[in-house]
Amino acid sequence: MSAWSRDPATSRLTRNSSPPKTKDMAQQPTLQDRFYPIRTSLLSCISLPDVGDNQFELKPQYINTLPKFRGFESEDAYFFVREFEEICLMMKIANLGVDAIKLRFVHSH
């Protein structure tokens, strides 16, 4: 879109390739910004243990067996943690400790 403006030195009209933006237009968020806000998250302080060259896969059926905790008042956090630990103890992955399995499940969940 082109716009015209008057050159103050010569008083001639000149064509601008884009209209000048006002402060109000520059500060208003676009529709894309409103519907798709930028997601920012803090880096986790938890570092996953190195597994070396061991290849393993956290299969979806394992992840789906994990309990869901949404923080409702009716939910018991202790029961959730106990159930989570019991399920993680049942998972056996070669050359991977129980704590490493728990961390990976928490990280993927």
3-state secondary structure 51-85: CCCCCCCCCHHHHHHCCCCCCCCCCCHHHHHHHHH
* Nearest-angstrom CA–CA distance, 30 and 35: 9
Q: How sure is the predictor about 100, in pLDDT bands with cuts at 50, 70 and 90?
A: confident
The larger pLDDT score, comparing residue 64 to residue 58, is at 64
Q: Indicate whether 67 pLDDT > 80.
A: yes
Residue with tokens 């049942």: 90
pLDDT at 109: 59
Q: Indicate whether 80 pLDDT > 70.
A: yes
Query: What is the average pLDDT value for the chain, to the nearest integer?
Result: 77
